[in-house]
Amino acid sequence: MIQTDICIIGAGPVGLFAVFEAGLLKMRCHLIDTLPQVGGQLSEIYPHKPIYDIPGYPDIKAQELVDRLMEQIAPFKPQFTLGERVETLAKQDDGSYLVGTSDGTLVHASVVVIAGGLGCFEPRKPDVEGLSQFEGKGVEYMVKNPEHFRAKKVVLAGGGDSALDWTIFLSNVAERVTLIHRGDTFRGAPDSAEKVFELARDGAIDLILQSNLVDVSGADQLEEVSFMGRDKVKNSIKADYLIPLFGLSPKLGPIANWGLNIDKSAIEVDTFDYSTNIEGIYAIGDINTYPGKLKLILCGFHEGALMVQSAFKYVYPDQKLSFKYTTVYGVNAF
């Protein structure tokens, strides 16, 4: 059995940063993740995607951010159980928890922190005729390696940040990029939207607005994507790849049965310390919800910092918490 102070469910960026904050208070962490590597969605879905809202970095690739976080927490020697899903949670008589995984791993922890991002997730698939027939044969739901699309005709669909960011990035990689969106404005960052409009004005991409995907076709591989605008006229364009980016459908999995207060597949928390309705269990990052919630990595970092302060007091109620600034003492002082 593994003994630790904090068991963190989810090894994405927010879970990793929580290790740093815990390390400053000399609290040990063990992280569990269903994915075979750390990094969560950043490593699994879009490792090469640029991220623009991390303080101090005008832009940083998703995998690079994960690598930097791992470097940051290395001095605190966290332990990991990867490729296993948390299945059971049992509160002990002393208020601690026994966490069990799908492979039988047992972790005994004083505190449990759920940092599972969107939980178990799968891409939202549009209702497009023939779509499933070409999955893996030209239809992709994520961009793991942009070089896979070099010199290819790529059609993206969607109006959020992922669709905008990948349109911008792939415009310098693919032979031709087309973005199809059902509206005429975007849900993503205004700056990214303006860049997409600018690329379209310069002829660097094709931007098709107020249109929906209708069907896809081809022989053994995807060859054509059809769409329809508000004029109800069907049009088709040649395509080697179609990447529908309509977000992810979250599923909490076994976590949903733990007695936590849940609202629309997200865990309700108290913003004082991001604790749940169950004592000793916290939730940080995209998996939690509260009034004014923003699903941003940097907000998850903030939540993790406050959560650890509360967790320390929960685990060591008789010890005085002495907060120190890393800029003064350095990490090695902790």
pLDDT value of residue 139: 95
Task: Give the lowest-confidence range in 36-50, 80-94, 211-225, 308-322.
Answer: 36-50
pLDDT value of residue 32: 95
Render pLDDT for 144-189 as a digit per residue (tens, 0 to 9).
788 999 999 999 999 988 899 899 999 999 999 999 999 999 988 8
Residues 300, 283: Cα–Cα separation, whole Å: 10
User: What pairing do the DSSP bridges indicate for beta strands 234-238 and 222-229?
Assistant: antiparallel
| Secondary structure in 3-state letters for the chain | CEEEEEEEECCCHHHHHHHHHHHHCCCCEEEEECCCCCCHHHHHCCCCCEECCCCCCCCEEHHHHHHHHHHHHHHHCCEEEECCCEEEEEECCCCCEEEEECCCCEEEEEEEEECCCCEEEEECCCCCECCHHHECCCECCCCCCHHHHCCCEEEEECCCHHHHHHHHHHCCCCCEEEEECCCCCCCCCHHHHHHHHHHHHCCCCEEECCEEEEEEEECCCEEEEEEEECCCCEEEEECCEEEECCCEEEECHHHHHCCCCEECCEEECECCCCECCCCCEEECHHHEECCCCCCCHHHHHHHHHHHHHHHHHHHCCCCCCCCCCHHHHCHHHC
CA-based end-to-end distance of the chain: 27
- Of 188 and 8, more confident: 8
Residues 128, 124: Cα–Cα separation, whole Å: 12
pLDDT value of residue 331: 57
Q: Which CATH superfamily is domain 2-121+248-333 in?
A: FAD/NAD(P)-binding domain (3.50.50.60)
- Of 99 and 34, more confident: 99
Biggest distance spanned by C-alpha atoms of the chain: 72
Residues 241, 174: Cα–Cα separation, whole Å: 10
**125-244 under CATH 3.50.50.60, yes or no:** yes
Backbone angles phi, psi at 270, to 5 degrees: -90, 120
323 band by pLDDT with thresholds 50, 70 and 90: low
Q: What tokens appear for 328 in the block? A: 């003064």
pLDDT value of residue 44: 67
pLDDT value of residue 328: 46
pTM of this structure: 0.65
Q: What tokens appear for 35 in the block? A: 């994915």
The answer to whether 232 and 211 are in contact (CB under 8 A) is no
Query: What integer is the mean pLDDT of 53-64?
Result: 91
pLDDT value of residue 265: 82
Question: To the nearest whole number, what is the mean pLDDT of the chain?
Answer: 90
Cα dihedral 43, 47, 50, 56 in deg (nearest 10): 50
- Nearest C-alpha neighbor of 163 from the set 186, 136, 147, 183: 186
Judge whether 2-121+248-333 and 125-244 match in fold: yes
pLDDT value of residue 250: 59
Render pLDDT for 35-51 as a digit per residue (tens, 0 to 9).
778 988 787 667 778 88
Query: What integer is the mean pLDDT of 122-144?
Result: 87
pLDDT value of residue 324: 56
The residue behind tokens 């599972």 is: 116
Render pLDDT for 258-298 as a digit per residue (tens, 0 to 9).
999 999 889 999 999 999 999 999 999 999 999 999 999 99
pLDDT value of residue 322: 65
Task: Give the lowest-confidence range in 2-16, 70-84, 115-129, 297-311.
Answer: 115-129
- Of 246 and 226, more confident: 226
Residue 326 clears pLDDT 60, i.e. is over it: no
Residues 158, 263: Cα–Cα separation, whole Å: 25
Provide the residue ranges of all domains of the chain, joining segments of one domain with +: 2-121+248-333, 125-244
